[in-house]
Amino acid sequence: MSPQRKVAVIGLDCVPPELAFDRWRDELPTLKRLTEQGCWGKLKSVVPPITVPAWSCMMSSRDPGELGIYGFRNRKDHSYDGLAFATATAVREDRVWDILGRAGKQVIVLAVPGTYPPAPVNGCLVGCFLTPSAESDYAYPAALKAELTGRFGAYRLDVENFRSDEKERILEQIYQMTEQHFAMARHLVTTRPWDFFMMVEMGTDRIHHAFWKFSDPAHRKYEKGNKFEHAIRDYYRFVDAQVAGLLPLLGDDTSVFVVSDHGAQNMEGGICVNEWLTREGYLALAEPVAGPTPIGQAKLDWSRTRAWGEGGYYSRIFLNVRGREPQGVIPPGEYEAVREELRRKFEAMLDEKGRPLGTRVFKPEEVYRVVRGVPPDLIVYFGNLRWRSVGSLGLGTVHTFENDTGPDDANHSEYGIFILREPGLKSRRVEGLSLMDIAPTILDRFGIAPPAGMQGKVIQGS
C-alpha cells in the first residue's frame, strides 16, 4: 500500500455485525456503500469486550493485560476496596495519535474512550465520556473547550439518569448527543489541518442497552407492535445519515475506517455471582444483609471467604490469598487448585431451567501476552455474555431477570464491525480480523512501520 495523506476513523461503540451487515444492511445506505467501496468484516474484540479497555487496545494494538487495564475500574493493590478508574493516565502505551504526532502528522481526536484527562497531542483532542462534567477541562488545547461550547452548547458527555423507564427522554438525549458529536466532528475537520481524524460515538451503545427488548423478538420481554419497536433501527438510520454528512468533508482520497469495539446481543438475565459463591461455600457474610446490597456495602467475613466477584457485563473473580490479600485464607500453594476448581464449576453452571449456561472462563495469563497491574484471578462470561454479572448480595436467587441497577436489555458480544474504504479497493469481505489490527493498519497507510510489540497485523486492502 503506498502511503496516503489522510486517515479517518469513525468509531461506533458496540455496533454488532449482525445488525450493521445483516439485519439492516439495506436500511443503512452509507455503510452499505462503504462496504461496496472497500473491505469489511467482523472485528474480534478483546477479553473483555468492553469500551474500557477495548478502544485503547485498538489504538495501541496491546491487549488489556499489557495495558494493565481490565475494565473501567482496576485494583490498585490487593486490598479489598482499592479500585481505581482507568482514565487516560492509566494508558501508558502509545496510541496511534501519539506515534503519528511524533512523526509530524496532525491529529484530531474526538471523544475516544480513554482520553480524559486530555493529554497534549500534535493537533487537538476532545476528552471522552469519562469526563466528569461539561465544566471540566476536557480539551487540548484548553481554549478549544470555549470554542466548542460557544458553537454547540455544553458538551453532551453521555445520557444522564440512564437506568430509567423514561424511554422517550433517553431516546431524545441519545439523538441530541450523537447530533452534537457529529457536528463537532464536521467543525473540527473543516477548521483544522489534519492528517489523522478519529471520533467515537457512544450513542450506539446506549441505544442497545436501553431499547434492545423492544426490537428483538428473541428477548423475553419483547412485545410485538410496541411503541419503540423500531427505535434502534431508526437511530441506526440517523447515524448512517450523520456518517453520510461527514464523509464528503473527509476527502475521497482519505482512508476511512468505520469500526466498533465490540458487539451487542440479547441479555437473557443476570447471574448473582456473589450469591452463587456464597451457596458454593466460597463467600461468607459477617452479618446478614437486609435485601439487595452491593458487595462493597456488605460485611464479609474474610476469614471464611475464599472468593468474591464484581458485577458488570462480565464478571471478575478475586481470590482471597494468604500473604496477598490483607486477610487472605487460601494458602499460596493451593491457589491454582482453587482457581481451577472455580473455573470448572463456573463452566458447569446451569440456567434457571437446568440447561447448560455455556459460561466461558479465562485466566489472565492464558489470554494476555503480559499481565500488568493487579489482574482479576478469573474473568467470567456467563452464558458467553448472554447473562450479565450481578454483584449485589441478598437477592435470594442465583438467576435474576431484574437487574440490581435498573432495566437493561442488551449485553456485549465478542465481535464488532470493520469497514475500510480506500481508493482502489475492491469490495471484499475479510475474515479473521482483530481490533489489534487497526493501529498497525493506520500506521501502514502513513508509511510508518508498526512499532515492535504491537500485537496486530496490517490489513492489506487488496
Partner 1 sequence: MTNDGQPKGQRGTRGVTLWFTGLPCSGKSTVSQIIYDELKKRGGRVELLDGDEVRTRLTKGLGFSKEDRDENIRRIGYVCHLLTRNGVIAIAAAISPYRAIRDEVRKMVGSFVEIYADCPLEVCIQRDVKGMYKKALAGEMKEFTGISDPYEAPLHPEVTLRTDQETPEASAARLLRRLEEMGYLPGGAAVPEPYTPEEEAAIRRRLEQLGYL
Across 127-176, the runs of DSSP E, i.e. the strands, are 139-140
Kindly state whether residue 163 participates in binding partner 1, applying the rule CB under 8 A. yes
Based on the shown chain and the rule CB under 8 A, indicate whether residue 154 belongs to the binding site for partner 1: no
Q: How far apart are CA 267 and CA 385, in angstroms?
A: 8
Measure the CA–CA gap between 302 and 82, rounded to whole angstroms. 16
Name the residue type at position 104: G
Shortest distance, CB of residue 347 to partner 1, whole angstroms?
Answer: 21
Query: Interface with partner 1 by CB under 8 A: which range of 39-47, 116-124, 217-225, 245-253?
Result: 116-124
* 219 lies in the site for partner 1, by CB under 8 A: no
Distance CA 162, CA 329 (A): 39
The 3-state DSSP class for residue 75 equals: strand
According to the binding rule CB under 8 A, does residue 12 interact with partner 1?
A: no
d(CA 44, CA 16): 11
Q: Judged by CB under 8 A, does residue 92 bind partner 1?
A: yes
Residue 402 touching partner 1 (CB under 8 A): no
Between 41 and 311, CB nearer to partner 1: 311
With CB under 8 A as the contact rule, the residue among 38, 41, 101, 114 that binds partner 1 is 101
263 is an interface residue for partner 1 by CB under 8 A: no
Select 36 or 160, whichever has its Cβ closest to partner 1: 160
Q: Which stretch binds partner 1 (CB under 8 A): 37-45, 246-254, 310-318, 423-431?
A: 310-318
Report d(CA 232, CA 236) in Å as an integer: 6
Which of 5, 102, 169, 299 touches partner 1 (CB under 8 A)? 102
* Distances 427 to 9, 162, 209, 413 between C-alpha atoms, Å: 18, 39, 32, 26
The single residue among 141, 331, 406, 447 that binds partner 1, judged by CB under 8 A, is 406
Residue 388 interacts with partner 1 (CB under 8 A)? yes
Q: Which residues, in sequence order, are bridge partners of residue 270? A: 388, 400
When asked if residue 390 is in the footprint of partner 1 (CB under 8 A), the reply is no
Q: Which 3 state secondary structure label does DSSP give 22?
A: helix
106 binds partner 1 (CB under 8 A): no
Contact call for residue 268 and partner 1 (CB under 8 A):
no
Q: How far is the CB of 110 from partner 1 (least distance, A)?
A: 18
Single out the residue of 16, 17, 49, 68 in contact with partner 1 (rule: CB under 8 A). 68
Binding flag, residue 326, partner 1 (CB under 8 A): no
The binder of partner 1 chosen from 8, 50, 200, 298 (CB under 8 A)? 50
Q: Can you read off the three cell numbers belonging to residue 249?
A: 468533508
- Output the smallest distance, CB 5 to partner 1, in A: 20
Q: What is the DSSP letter of 397?
A: -
CA dihedral 222, 225, 231, 232 (to 10 degrees): 50
For cell 441478598, the residue is 394
Question: Judged by CB under 8 A, does residue 331 bind partner 1?
Answer: no
HSE, CB side, 13 Å, CA atoms: give it for residue 22: 9
Percent helix, strand and coil across the chain, each to the nearest 5: 35, 20, 45
Decide whether 116 or 346 has the Cβ nearer to partner 1. Answer: 116
Candidates 23, 24, 33, 117; binder of partner 1 (CB under 8 A) is 117
Please, what is the angle between helix 231-250 and helix 203-215, to 10°? 150
The C-alpha atoms of residue 444 and residue 437 are separated, in whole angstroms, by 11
- Using rule CB under 8 A, residue 133 touches partner 1: yes
- Cell triple for 263: 458487539
403 lines the binding site for partner 1 (CB under 8 A): yes
Q: 89: burial class by Cβ within 10 Å (0-12, 13-18, 19+)?
A: exposed
Among 151, 299, 369, 429, binds partner 1 (CB under 8 A): 369
Which residues form the interface with partner 1 (CB under 8 A)?
Answer: 50-52, 68-69, 71-78, 82, 84-94, 98, 101-102, 116-117, 119-122, 130, 132-133, 136, 158-163, 206, 209, 310-313, 336, 365, 368-375, 388, 403, 405-406, 408
